[in-house]
A and B are shown apart, each in its own frame.
Chain A
Amino acid sequence: MTAKSDCVKIVGEESVLADKKILASFARDDGGSQGSPPACVVKPRSAEEVREIVLMANARGYALVPVSSGEPHSRGDTVPATEGAVIVDLSGMKRVLRMDRRNKVAMVEPGVTFGELRDAAAQEGLRVLTPLLPRPSKSVLGSALEREPMLIPKYHWDMTDPLMCVEVVFGTGDVFRTGSAAGPGTLEEQWAVGCAQKNPMGPGQTDFLRLVQGSQGSMGIVTWGTVKLELLPGVEKAFLVTADEFGALQDFAYTILKFKLPDLCLILNGAALGAITEKGGGDMPPWTLAYSISGYTYMPRERVEYLEKDVADIASAAGVKPARTAGDVDAGELARMMGAPCPPPHWKTRARGACREVFFLTTLDRVPAFLAAVDGEMSAHGFDARDLGVYVQPIRQGTGCHLEMDFFYDPGSEEDTRKARALHEGVSRACIEMGGFFSRPYGGWADLAYGRAPDAVAALARIKDILDPRGVMNPGRLCFGKEG
């Protein structure tokens, strides 16, 4: 028996792919990760099929690599680290199982993309909490499980947001529902008494969601999840604040974030803003803080009016000037663009054809120090500073931020590619030395991050041993070995 024939027994011939070209495409990704071609790609349609696949993997010793988003992949977590793995492609599980306007929550399967959920939510007057310009094939659950930062920090209360509850098939093959979805009762029985699977904690004294989130598929496979939605604004007004130095935006950003005044709130350097808007990086202001203010169902115009005045006062005190445009960039147009998936080519590849990204968590006040270090690294590697896109996303209501440096390069140039790779490594090392927190340690970052946290490695190994004792779930990721 082979992995392919085992999978065919579970899902049928038509849902197992073993074409060599397809298999080869999973052995590498656009981020430069190289691995082994899988034995096959299996496309389950239900949680029950997923469970059977996990049980089969335990019985036969196959490695499983869950994938929910479509191509292109770039962070290495979908590339098998071991030979003979089975790709569990969840992109066909596309149902929006429930849309609850009153509780502002949607229950979705892993294959549902941002564009699909956005359309479904809009019909109910709701909006999806998105990361910055996800690619069209990006899975909503995949993004939330990876703790991708979202554009509206005021709705980001805790790191699990916007994910609330999930159904997960652990590496053992056990099916488990997290948070309030766990029970008592079936989902239908819970709905009948007003539940909406909206409490992400527990059940009981363990936060099972947190053990699955951020695990790069190494603990189990999520078969549905509930995500928090928010109201579509009735009135929305967007602004741009520009500055020559990042530091000049800090006080303003801290104050508006503290009081949860803006919806959208992020900071981009000129190259990133130029790539996103396709207006040409050269003429862009060095730094731009983009934000929007909104009114919802109650007195929306009045809300925007008072917010506009209050924010203007804060801006004045901070010595910055909000404007509706900056050069060719229109704030409203930018805000509308950011609420949707990114049309191809992805903005990170628009400037030079490819991009190496370095991102981690820090606080806004530390960003200038990291930028200075990156400047030094770029000089040392002879990298043109104009090809550096910087994206700063305040998270968790301003108590931290995601700092992302995108190094644009020409993949057709060997020298460019070599420089970008070396720079990526140098910047990663420099930033982690400076206290950058690589909370999502893809690829080589895992060694850097876990090398500094041996206690966490030991604790995570105990959790892994409980949820995936045979090590079938995406072996070789994070701090977990390739052997089960």
Chain B
Amino acid sequence: MITDAAYRELQETLGAENVSREPAVLDGYTWQPFTDILGLPDSWCRYRPAAVVLPGSTEEVQEVVRICGRHGLQFKAMSTGWGAWNAMGGENTVQIDLKRMNRILEIDEKNMYAVVEPCAVCSQLQAEAMKKGLNCHIIGAGCGSSPLASATSLCGYGWSGLTTSYSARNVLGVEWVLPDGEVLRIGTPGQDAGWFNGDGPGPSLRGAMRGFMGACGGLGVFTRCAVKLFPWPGPEEPQVEGLLNDVTAEVPDTHAMFLIAFPDLQRWADAAYSVADAEIGYMMCKNAIGALVATMMPRGLKELTRFAVFKDILKTLRYQFQFLVCARTPREFAYQKAVLREIVEECEGICLDVSKLPGLHDAFWWGFVRAAMPPLIFRMGGTFGTSYGALEGFDHPAYQSQEGARLKSQYTETGRLMDDLADNSWGGIYEGSTGFGHQEELYVYDPRDSAQLEAAEDYLAGTLVDTAAKKLGPGLGFAGGAIVAEIFGPLIGDYHEWLRKIKGAFDPDNVSDPAFYVSPDPEKLIAEEMANRPGMAQSLLSVMGEEDTP
């Protein structure tokens, strides 16, 4: 509940048209996808916002934050908002919807960065960047997502990471409204020296802002951010007609997509390392064969998986990548293709040149460049979840992909989860020669089927237990809410205690919703979690019982 006095202050600050506590409006924010990670099967989050506000400027965000502080309310910021990470962590929380702050403030063509507001979206930024021969990183959530959100507040794997890295590593200057309402400008903007740098002077406050994962709204509100841009050796205005799979496009002569499959996990991983060593490619990503078929013809996959022989045929393509070459010149194009052929031969793979299949090539090319395909993943089951996904030298993600498929097969083979051939890992290698990468194991299910919902939660719990037992990187498990810090913290150098100190230092009154960051009251959090998620409770206890890291 929000008091009339607090509500009035919000209205006076933002204008009545930008504040609401209408139940129907609030419910619009209470429904989110991917609530299975909270143990909420039907997409309805546990708490409705006390009010929703739409500030239009940094100053208005500051005022909202201060009003919340004065009236004992918490706040939770969201931009493009997709998933449980936008959900309120408790009662009396104001949702700060940043959709009015949607401008690209600057694109510095020479120095290859853009300054954006929270609700400028990737498709908007990419379109403008391409006009200047540049491209932006787009995360797996797709081109409708906010580059600021993934850069400052969440995670950030994307198809083109080979060229465009990971969101957290692309951050330059940042404008940050702290939980007390003060503005902190990180890096060069803090000294009115432009936006080109986010680290220093001295220790980098980017380190307090976020880590591998962002604080998901638990440490204030980010109102502006500069992100690195990357070369785009393609058309300034791509000529594309249609949507999703039904796309025709003018693909440049120096661009080509390949589907490459290898006989086993070892040679598949070897190929990834070789590509990094060779410094070729614009994108290298595995979209599992089950996922590809599911996105193109979901009913077809359901039919095919009824027959063991078809499943076996599809599984021969299990260890594969989609590989995109976007060369600047014909010389470079010829070189990259020749090296790719050599690597494929060396790793005993087969390579399908998709550019020889015009219809498919158009859809693949644009689908991956624009990151336009994410909606298709919902076609098969209605929703999906994800697991594992640590960023490390590629042998580790390869191992995780095996673990994910092994665990999940117990569910897909018995019909408890949708049969996506069990192996449905997504991800690739990033930062060119650096060659670290990730594989996250997707699982697809029908949220209307209570047995599948139960299985989804059971599988996810199993992955956490497996992660602890086998000493794997938690990866996307870090996005599982504040409870994850309590589970894994003791196994990871007690990092959660340091997080708690940072939270205490920057938000002593706990005004910024900590549900996906770290709880100031861990005992209460654990008790609530055990009560709210009995299905997961036993698994969590099992993980927490693991021995501490020496």
Give A residues with C-beta under 8 Å from B. Answer: 100, 102-105, 147, 154-155, 157-160, 176-177, 179-180, 182-186, 189-190, 192-196, 198-199, 201-216, 218-219, 228, 230-231, 254, 258-260, 296-299, 302-303, 306, 309-310, 313, 361-365, 396-400, 432, 435-441, 446, 449-450, 452-453, 455-456, 459-460, 462-463, 465-466, 478-479
Contacts of A309 in B (CB 8 A): 331
The answer to whether A201 and B169 have CB atoms under 8 Å apart is yes
Determine whether the beta carbon of A436 is less than 8 Å from that of B110: no
Given contacts A184-B471, A199-B212, A437-B197, contact A460 B111 (CB under 8 A): no
> Within B202-242, which residues are at the interface with A (CB < 8 Å)?
202-216, 218-219, 228, 231, 233
Contact partner, A299, options B182, B191, B335, Cβ 8 Å: B335
Q: For chain B residues 382-429, which have a beta carbon within 8 Å of chain A?
A: 390-399
Q: Which residue of the partner chain, among A155, A213, A435, A440, contacts B201 with CB atoms under 8 Å? A: A440
CB contacts (< 8 Å) of B252 on chain A: these are none
**Residues of A contacting B467 in the complex (Cβ-Cβ under 8 angstroms):** 184
- In the assembled complex, 30 residue pairs joining A and B whose CB atoms fall closer than 8 Å, in A order, are A102-B393, A103-B393, A147-B200, A176-B495, A177-B493, A180-B392, A184-B492, A184-B546, A201-B169, A204-B211, A204-B488, A205-B518, A206-B210, A208-B498, A213-B199, A215-B202, A298-B280, A298-B339, A298-B343, A397-B112, A438-B200, A439-B200, A440-B202, A441-B201, A441-B202, A453-B191, A459-B208, A460-B205, A466-B501, A478-B201
How far is B202's CA from A216's CA once the two chains are assembled, in angstroms?
A: 8
Smallest beta-carbon distance A189→chain B, Å: 4
A204 touches B201 (CB 8 A): no
Q: Which residue of A lies closest to B215 (CB)?
A: A205
Contact in complex: A298, B342 (CB < 8 Å):
yes
Question: Is residue B188 within 8 Å, beta carbon to beta carbon, of the partner chain?
Answer: yes
The answer to whether B328 touches A438 (Cβ under 8 A) is no
- CB nearest to B276 among chain A residues: A104
A478 pairs with B390, CB closer than 8 A? no
Contact of A102 among B183, B280, B395 (CB under 8 A): B395
A405 to chain B, nearest CB (A): 17
Cβ–Cβ contact A254 & B110, under 8 A: yes
Q: What are the residues of chain B within 8 A of A147 when measuring CB–CB?
A: 199-200
Q: Is B105 an interface residue (CB 8 A)?
A: no
In this complex, what residue of A is CB-closest to B396? A194
| Residues of chain A with a CB closer than 8 A to B273's CB | 102
- Contact between chains at A199 and B436 (CB < 8 Å): yes
Residue in A100, A185, A214, A364 whose CB lies within 8 Å of B199: A214
For residue B394, which residues in chain A have a CB less than 8 angstroms away from its CB? 194
Assembled-state Cα–Cα distance A243/B112 (Å): 24
- B278 near A: Cβ within 8 Å? yes
B211–A207 touching, CB < 8 Å: yes
For the complex formed, measure the closest distance between the CB of B360 and the CB atoms of chain A, giving whole angstroms.
Answer: 28
Is B455 part of the binding interface, using a Cβ–Cβ cutoff of 8 Å?
no
CB contact under 8 A between A306 and B204, given known A182-B493, A205-B517: no
Which size class do B's interface residues fall under? Answer: 35 or more
Give 6 closest A-B pairs by Cβ, nearest first.
Answer: A185-B471, A210-B207, A194-B395, A439-B200, A202-B212, A196-B393
Chain B residue numbers with a CB within 8 Å of A441 are 200-202
Which residues of B sit under 8 angstroms from A310, Cβ to Cβ? 328-329, 331-332
Q: How far is the CA of A416 from the CA of B75 in the complex (A)?
A: 60
Would you call B285 an interface residue if the criterion is a C-beta within 8 Å of the partner chain's C-beta atoms?
A: no
Chain A residues, Cβ within 8 Å of B190: 452-453, 455-456
Known A193-B396, A259-B233; further 18 A-B contacts with Cβ < 8 A? A102-B395, A147-B200, A160-B199, A177-B493, A182-B549, A183-B549, A198-B393, A201-B169, A203-B495, A204-B489, A204-B499, A297-B274, A303-B339, A306-B332, A439-B197, A439-B201, A446-B201, A463-B505
* B342 lies within 8 A of A204 (CB): no
Question: Are B506 and A462 interface neighbours, CB within 8 A?
Answer: yes
**What is the minimal beta-carbon distance from A264 to any residue of chain B, in angstroms?**
15
Q: Which of B442-495 contact A (CB under 8 A)?
A: 467-468, 470-474, 478, 485, 488-489, 491-493, 495
With A214-B200, A299-B342, A306-B332 in contact, do A203 and B396 touch (Cβ < 8 Å)?
no
Task: Find out whether the CB atom of A196 lies under 8 angstroms from the CB atom of B433.
Answer: no
B184 contacts A by Cβ under 8 Å:
yes
Q: State how many angstroms separate the Cβ of B327 from the closest Cβ of chain A.
A: 10
Please, how many angstroms separate the alpha-carbon atoms of A436 and B192 in the complex?
Answer: 10
**CB-based contact B502/A206 at 8 Å:** yes
| B392 engages A298 (CB within 8 Å) | no
Cα A296 to Cα B339 in complex, Å, equals 11
